[in-house]
């Protein structure tokens, strides 16, 4: 196994939305920095926005909406469990972000008066701002590379290196060959996404997830092992999306007059799509599959819906509908609950960060779905990518290069060598992943109870043993898949432990406990954090909310 080493100033793990903006921002501040991006896929299209996004979900447009209103709205969405400063900071910078993207050629439609097109996606306030840019990822990846960052594709982060408790780089693995990469760094930004491959989708196809399947919670695990705290891991999120193919469409259809209906043709969602409660209740009561109907809308609205859905974000749905004989004018769109995911952007799961994108580990920052800026979506990824870069460049200005502990690298090498050593007729990695994710469905997601959650903990230990003793790997690709499954298992354990701790139900089907069916603000209006103890054990604790927006914003 060959090991590649390269020194640089800042390492960014993940070349998606957060990572690309972070890289560009760091080099904008100091063009002489050596910035390296680990990217598990190929950076040109990788991540959740492979074919762009049809909106920037959160923009506080001056003279229209305010960051304060956003924090208020977000508080409602998060049932009170929200730290105000990071969300405030994100909303405060959101309009500048829009302008920056616009300057890069990203298209935000405007009306004849020059107003951006906004829709209500939140309990209060029209923050969702239309953006029609299938090439969004191509644009930001090019910006990051042209500014001078070195992109290392096909490389997955495995473990952060520490120097006296400070982030000192990382060890990664080349996902095709299984070779290791070691990057000593003076600061690390984790931007590796959430755990999209978490629960098993109803199709049974491992990669048929709603969010980018390359996200397997690598950053959650790396951050945890380095000493950072995770929060909201009990928030196991699922939504009702296009059945079997798990593609989003609510924001585009519902906000334009589409109706979500149950089998009795009762409308369960109309005009506002932020609250899934009624829809989820209908499904739980057996009144699904839910359907979205747009056939009643005028032809030009249907055309507009089609033109957005078939060009941006997940354009493959055009051929999906065609194969199934679904013309929106005649047939409804069938919905089904997606698989569950852990995600800081769509949900509330992630590394604890303050408004400076700092984690508890000096020199370690987090941005995007890997961080918890609750429901920050794409805006959160972009803004916190920039914040992380600003803070990281400041941090390294006063720090010397870290010392690398060969023993830390050695232990990763040794583990990889063990994983790759059993070839031949053992358990196939795909079967392992299928079973792990099926059991996550059985035990870790709502409706939850102590019995199920504890069963998961037993299964997790069993899976770890099986990985050591029975799973065989035939090539570099298989080796990286085993590492991904290990991360998925770890994330499920974070989730189960946090869910056991939060003895209440909150956030609808994201955390619903049959044995504690009521919301309990008296005891549980707080965060539930998971962090690593001195002996590697998992410590679960409560953390009070930060409700105040710092005066004059956060600086």
Partner 1 sequence: MRSDVNIHIQREKCYVCGICIERCILDNLRMYLAPCRAACPIHMNCQGYVRLIAQGKEEEAAREARKDLPFAGIIGRVCTRPCEDKCERKPVDGEAVHIRALKRYLADNQQDLIHEAALVPKESGKKVAVVGSGPAGLMVAYELAVKGHAVTVFDSASEPGGMLRWGIPAFRLPGAEISYAVGMLEKMKVRFHTGHALGKEMETERLEREWDALLLATGGGSALALKIPGEDLPGVYQGLDLLRQVREGKTPPLGKSAIVIGGGNTAVDAALTCRKLGAEEVHIICLEERSQMPAFAAEVEEALEEGIKIQNGWGPRTILPHGQGGLRLELSRCLSIFDKEGRFSPRLDNFRGLSPSAESVIVAIGQKADLSGLPGDLQGASGGNPMADPLTLQTSRDKIFAAGDLVTGPRSVIEAMAQGREAAISIDRFLQGETLRWGRAYWDGTCITDFPIDRSGAIVRPRAVLPRLPVQSRDTHQEVEKTLGTKEAREEAERCLNCGRPGEVNRTCWYCLPCEIECPVDALEVRLPYLVR
Residues that bind partner 1 (CB under 8 A): 2-7, 41-42, 44-47, 50-51, 154, 174-177, 179, 181, 203-209, 212-214, 244-246, 314-316, 319-320, 323-324, 430, 475-477
Is residue 116 within 8 Å of residue 109, measured between CB atoms? yes
Rounded-to-integer distance, Cα 54 and Cα 320, Å: 19
Tokens found for residue 232 = 């909201």
Residue with Cβ nearer partner 1 (36 or 554):
36
Residue with Cβ nearer partner 1 (2 or 112):
2
For 195-218, b/e burial (b = at least 16 CB within 10 A) is: bbbbbbbeeeeeebbbbbebbbbb
Q: Among residues 49, 31, 65, which one has the least CA distance to residue 101? A: 49
Least Å from the CB of residue 138 to partner 1: 9
Residue with Cβ nearer partner 1 (4 or 465):
4
Least Å from the CB of residue 353 to partner 1: 26
Residue with Cβ nearer partner 1 (30 or 153):
153
Least Å from the CB of residue 372 to partner 1: 25
Let me know if 528 is exposed, middle or buried by CB neighbors in 10 A (0-12, 13-18, 19+): buried
Is residue 402 within 8 Å of residue 166, measured between CB atoms? yes
Residue with Cβ nearer partner 1 (64 or 205):
205
For 453-491, b/e burial (b = at least 16 CB within 10 A) is: bebbbebbeebeeebeeebbbeebebbbbbbbbbbbbbb
Residue with Cβ nearer partner 1 (161 or 500):
161
Q: Do you know the residue count of the chain?
A: 555
Is residue 546 within 8 Å of residue 374, measured between CB atoms? no
List of E strands, 91-165: 118-119, 128-133, 150-152, 155-163
Is residue 467 within 8 Å of residue 485, measured between CB atoms? yes
For 220-241, b/e burial (b = at least 16 CB within 10 A) is: bbbbbebbbbbbbbbbbbbbbb
Bridge-based pairing state of the strands 3-5 and 180-184: parallel
Least Å from the CB of residue 175 to partner 1: 6
Least Å from the CB of residue 475 to partner 1: 8
Residue with Cβ nearer partner 1 (18 or 476):
476
Residue with Cβ nearer partner 1 (20 or 226):
20
The distance from CA 254 to its chain's CA centroid, rounded to whole angstroms, is 23
CA angle 7, 226, 388 (to 5 degrees): 65
Q: The tokens 């989708």 sit on which residue?
A: 201
Residue with Cβ nearer partner 1 (174 or 255):
174
Rounded-to-integer distance, Cα 92 and Cα 552, Å: 11
Least Å from the CB of residue 543 to partner 1: 35
Least Å from the CB of residue 35 to partner 1: 15
Least Å from the CB of residue 323 to partner 1: 6
CA torsion, ordered 183, 189, 194, 197, to nearest 10 deg: -10
Let me know if 260 is exposed, middle or buried by CB neighbors in 10 A (0-12, 13-18, 19+): buried
Least Å from the CB of residue 347 to partner 1: 20
Residue with Cβ nearer partner 1 (3 or 267):
3
Q: How many CA atoms within 13 Å lie on the side-chain side of 176? A: 6
Residue with Cβ nearer partner 1 (212 or 463):
212
Least Å from the CB of residue 208 to partner 1: 5
Q: What is the 8-class DSSP label of residue 429?
A: H
Least Å from the CB of residue 125 to partner 1: 31
Rounded-to-integer distance, Cα 225 and Cα 229, Å: 9
Least Å from the CB of residue 457 to partner 1: 29
Which DSSP helix (H) or strand (E) runs through 53? strand 53-56
Least Å from the CB of residue 505 to partner 1: 32
Residue with Cβ nearer partner 1 (247 or 282):
247
Q: Count CB-CB contacts under 10 A for residue 50.
A: 18
Residue with Cβ nearer partner 1 (35 or 254):
35
């Amino acid at each position: 196994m060959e090991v590649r080493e390269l020194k640089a100033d800042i390492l960014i793990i993940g070349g998606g939305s957060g990572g690309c903006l972070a890289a560009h921002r760091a080099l904008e501040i100091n063009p002489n920095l050596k910035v390296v991006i680990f990217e598990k896929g190929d950076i040109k299209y990788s991540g959740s926005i492979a074919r762009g996004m049809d909106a920037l979900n959160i923009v506080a447009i001056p003279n229209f909406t305010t960051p304060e209103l956003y924090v208020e709205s977000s508080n409602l969405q998060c049932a009170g469990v929200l730290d105000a400063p990071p969300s405030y900071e994100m909303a405060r910078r959101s309009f500048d972000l829009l302008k920056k993207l616009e300057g890069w050629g990203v298209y935000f439609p405007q009306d004849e008066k020059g107003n951006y097109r906004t829709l209500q996606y939140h309990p209060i306030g029209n923050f969702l701002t239309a953006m029609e840019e299938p090439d969004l990822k191509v644009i930001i990846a090019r910006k990051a590379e042209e500014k001078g960052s070195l992109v290392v594709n096909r490389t997955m982060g495995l473990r952060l290196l520490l120097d006296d408790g400070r982030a000192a780089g990382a060890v990664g693995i080349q996902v095709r060959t299984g070779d290791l990469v070691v990057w000593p760094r003076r600061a690390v930004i984790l931007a590796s996404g959430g755990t999209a491959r978490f629960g098993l989708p109803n199709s049974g196809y491992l990669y048929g997830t709603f969010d980018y399947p390359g996200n397997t919670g690598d950053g959650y695990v790396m951050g945890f092992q380095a000493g950072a705290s995770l929060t909201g891991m009990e928030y196991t999120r699922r939504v009702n999306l296009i059945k079997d193919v798990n593609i989003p469409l609510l924001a585009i259809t519902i906000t334009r007059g589409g109706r979500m209906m149950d089998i009795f043709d009762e409308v369960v969602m109309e005009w506002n799509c932020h609250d899934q409660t009624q829809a989820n209740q209908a499904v739980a009561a057996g009144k699904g599959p839910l359907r979205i109907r747009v056939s009643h809308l005028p032809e030009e609205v249907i055309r507009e819906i089609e033109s957005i859905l078939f060009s941006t974000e997940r354009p493959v749905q055009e051929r999906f509908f065609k194969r199934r004989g679904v013309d929106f004018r005649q047939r409804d769109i069938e919905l089904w609950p997606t698989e569950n995911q852990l995600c800081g952007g769509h949900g509330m799961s992630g590394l604890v960060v303050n408004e400076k994108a700092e984690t508890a580990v000096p020199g370690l920052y987090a941005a995007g779905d890997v961080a918890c800026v609750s429901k920050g979506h794409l805006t959160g990824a972009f803004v916190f990518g920039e914040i992380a870069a600003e803070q990281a460049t400041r941090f390294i200005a006063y720090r010397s290069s870290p010392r690398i502990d060969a023993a830390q690298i050695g232990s990763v090498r040794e583990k990889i060598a063990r994983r790759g050593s059993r070839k031949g007729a053992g358990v196939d990695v795909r079967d392992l992943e299928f079973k792990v994710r099926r059991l996550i469905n059985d035990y870790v997601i709502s409706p939850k109870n102590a019995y199920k959650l504890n069963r998961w903990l037993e299964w997790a230990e069993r899976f770890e043993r099986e990985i050591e003793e029975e799973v065989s790997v035939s090539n570099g690709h298989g080796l990286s898949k085993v590492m991904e499954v290990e991360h998925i298992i770890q994330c499920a354990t974070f989730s189960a432990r946090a869910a056991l701790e939060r003895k209440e139900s909150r956030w609808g089907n994201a955390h619903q406990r049959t044995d504690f069916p009521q919301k309990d603000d008296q005891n549980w209006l707080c965060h539930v954090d998971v962090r690593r103890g001195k002996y590697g054990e998992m410590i679960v604790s409560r953390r009070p909310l930060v409700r105040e927006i710092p005066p004059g914003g956060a600086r």
